[in-house]
C-alpha cells in the first residue's frame, strides 16, 4: 500500500480566504488531496462571508476538496474551550454547523478543534452530532478517544507532525530549514500515515512557498497526499485502538494541547 500523508488546511477567517485560489492551484499542481477546515464565525467574517469570499469558498468545493468546520470563532474557542460549559460548547457547534450549511448547502462531516483545545463536552458532541471523524488532537495514529473512562465513538485523526509555526517557535527554524526538518521526520513512513496541519494566511507567500516545497518533497519520497476523510475512510471503527486523552505540552506551542495518551487499560491486558 502506498504511504500516505493527510493534509489538514485551516482557514480561520476572512484574511486567510485570500489565499484560497493560490492554495487550490498549488494542490492541483501536486495532485494532492486535502481537508479544508473553516472557522465561519462573526468575529472573523463579519455578519456573513462577503461575496468575494463566498466565490472562493465555492471554488474549494467545486475543486472536490473535503470540507469541515474549525469551530465558530476560533480565537475565542482557543481561549475558552478547555474550561467551557456544555451549554457554551453546544452553542458553538450549533452556530458553526448552521453557518457551514448556509455557505456550502450540506452538513459538515468533519470537525477540528481550533488550537487543539477542547474538553469532554466537545468530544461527546463529535459522536452525538454524527461526524465521520474529528481532528482535535495531536498524536501518533488514528484512535477512538477515551476521557476519564468514557469512550467516544468518533475516530480521532491526530496531527502527527509539527506545524511550521511550532518549528519556528521551538527551534527558530526559517522556512527552508523547517521544510527540511519535516521531510526528515517523514522520511520513514508511519504505518497508519502521517497528518500535517497548515494554517492559511492572506498576508504572506512564504508559507505557501514552504508548502509547495514540502509537497514536492513528499511526492519525491513516494507519498500519496490525501484528505483526512480519505484516511478515515479506510478505518474500521471497532478495530481502532482506544486511547486516553491527555493534556500535554508540545514544543513550540504556548498552550498544552489535547494529545493521544496511552492505550486505554493497556496495563490490564493479559499477554497472549
Q: Can you name the residues that pair with 7 across neighbouring β-strands?
A: 196
C-alpha to C-alpha distance for 272 and 268, rounded to whole angstroms: 12
Going by pLDDT thresholds of 50, 70 and 90, the confidence category of residue 87 is very high
C-alpha to C-alpha distance for 155 and 157, rounded to whole angstroms: 6
Q: Which whole number is the average pLDDT over 156-177?
A: 96
Q: Report the DSSP pairing between strands 242-248 and 144-147.
A: parallel
Going by pLDDT thresholds of 50, 70 and 90, the confidence category of residue 270 is low
147 has pLDDT over 80:
yes
Q: Taking the CA atoms of the chain, what radius of gyration do you get in angstroms? A: 18
Q: Which whole number is the average pLDDT over 221-228?
A: 97
Cell numbers for 30, please give them: 501536486
Q: Which whole number is the average pLDDT over 111-134?
A: 97
C-alpha to C-alpha distance for 258 and 116, rounded to whole angstroms: 6
Q: Look over the chain and give the mean of its residue pLDDT values, rounded to a whole number.
A: 92
C-alpha to C-alpha distance for 173 and 207, rounded to whole angstroms: 13
Q: What is the CATH number of domain 4-268?
A: 3.20.20.370
User: What is the DSSP-derived secondary structure letter of residue 94?
Assistant: H
Express each pLDDT in 2-30 by its tens digit: 699 999 999 988 778 888 999 999 999 99
Which pLDDT score is estimated for 1?
Answer: 46
| Residues written for the chain | 272
Q: Judge contact between 243 and 155, C-beta under 8 A.
A: no
Q: Please report, rounded to a whole number, the percentage of residues in the chain having pLDDT higher than 90.
A: 83
Query: Ramachandran region of residue 115, left (φ > 0), alpha (ψ -120 to 50) or beta?
Result: left
SS3 state at 257:
strand
Express each pLDDT in 69-85 by its tens digit: 999 999 999 999 999 99
Which pLDDT score is estimated for 263?
Answer: 95
Q: Report the DSSP pairing between strands 4-11 and 35-38.
A: parallel
Helix (H) / strand (E) element for 57: namely helix 51-62
Buried b (16+ CB within 10 A) or exposed e, 132-158: bbbbbbbbebbbbbbbeeeebebbbbb
Amino acid at each position: 500500500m502506498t504511504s500516505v500523508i493527510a493534509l489538514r488546511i485551516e482557514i480561520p477567517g476572512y484574511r486567510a480566504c485570500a489565499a484560497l485560489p493560490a492554495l487550490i492551484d498549488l494542490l492541483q499542481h501536486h495532485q494532492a488531496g486535502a481537508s479544508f477546515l473553516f472557522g465561519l464565525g462573526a468575529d472573523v467574517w463579519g455578519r456573513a462571508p462577503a461575496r468575494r469570499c463566498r466565490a472562493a469558498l465555492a471554488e474549494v468545493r467545486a475543486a472536490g476538496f473535503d470540507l469541515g468546520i474549525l469551530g465558530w470563532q476560533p480565537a475565542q474557542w482557543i481561549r475558552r474551550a478547555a474550561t467551557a460549559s456544555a451549554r457554551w460548547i453546544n452553542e458553538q457547534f450549533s452556530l458553526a454547523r448552521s453557518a457551514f450549511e448556509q455557505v456550502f448547502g450540506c452538513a459538515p462531516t468533519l470537525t477540528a478543534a481550533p488550537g487543539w483545545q477542547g474538553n469532554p463536552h466537545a468530544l461527546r458532541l463529535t459522536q452525538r452530532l454524527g461526524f465521520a471523524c474529528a481532528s482535535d488532537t495531536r498524536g501518533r495514529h488514528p484512535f477512538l478517544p477515551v476521557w476519564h473512562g468514557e469512550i467516544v465513538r468518533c475516530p480521532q485523526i491526530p496531527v502527527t507532525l509539527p506545524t511550521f509555526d511550532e518549528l519556528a517557535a521551538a527551534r527558530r527554524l526559517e522556512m527552508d530549514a523547517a521544510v527540511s526538518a519535516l521531510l526528515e521526520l517523514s522520511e520513514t513512513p508511519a504505518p497508519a500515515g502521517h497528518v500535517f496541519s497548515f494554517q492559511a494566511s492572506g498576508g504572506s507567500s512564504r508559507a505557501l512557498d514552504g508548502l509547495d516545497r514540502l509537497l514536492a518533497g513528499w511526492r519525491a519520497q513516494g507519498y500519496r497526499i490525501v484528505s483526512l476523510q480519505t484516511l478515515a475512510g479506510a478505518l474500521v471503527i471497532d478495530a481502532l485502538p482506544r486511547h486516553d486523552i491527555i493534556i500535554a505540552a508540545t514544543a513550540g506551542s504556548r498552550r498544552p494541547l489535547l494529545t493521544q495518551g496511552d492505550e486505554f487499560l493497556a496495563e490490564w491486558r493479559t499477554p497472549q
